[in-house]
Amino acid sequence: MSEFSSPDASLTPEVLTNLPLDSIAIQKILPHRYPFLLIDRVVELERKKRIVAIKNVTVNEIFFLGHFPGNPIMPGVLMVEAIAQTGATLLMTEVPDRASMLTVFTGIERAKFRRQVIPGDQLRLEVSVIVWRRTAVKMEGKVTVDGQLACEATVSCQLVSLNKPEQAEAGAE
């Protein structure tokens, strides 16, 4: 795989705190790609504590084709996913072998939607760590547009290996 199709394990946490991180740098951390990469830029990062990312919402987003024609509104679940991707970016910056790991949801709590998000809006995603463990985190996220709260949720995620169990067993012999 090219460096643009999988996370780049050679990037150290120190390198990844040189801000802002653009979409190319984010793609070296996360495995998400179009149309499901939902953050465009990381503007603040405090290791193991807090991260702030930006998502520019455009009329060209694929989900606007069906949600809703003539009245485009960003689905709330995608705002929660953007919170999770922002938090996963923070978590993955601390993982040295990130190319062999994946961050998966383990929980969503207290998700609330306060304002519609439409084309032209810029989301500010602020995610703070509640609990940090080596392979799992719980985070509180808030999405604002022009200073107005659009969405909030508490998300949990865990690191899992991309190596299939049969491959790991075969390697142990």
> Is 48 exposed, middle or buried, given 0-12, 13-18 or 19+ CB atoms closer than 10 A?
middle
Determine the residue type at 63: F
- What is the C-alpha to C-alpha distance for residues 70 and 121, in angstroms, rounded to an integer? 17
Active-site residue, from 67, 115, 124, 138: 67
Q: In what order do the strands lie in the sheet with 136-145?
A: 41-46, 50-56, 122-132, 136-145, 148-161, 101-113
Nearest-10 Cα torsion for 23, 24, 30, 34: 70
Specify whether 67 is catalytic.
yes
Residue 41 CB neighbour total at 10 angstroms? 17
Positions marked catalytic: 67
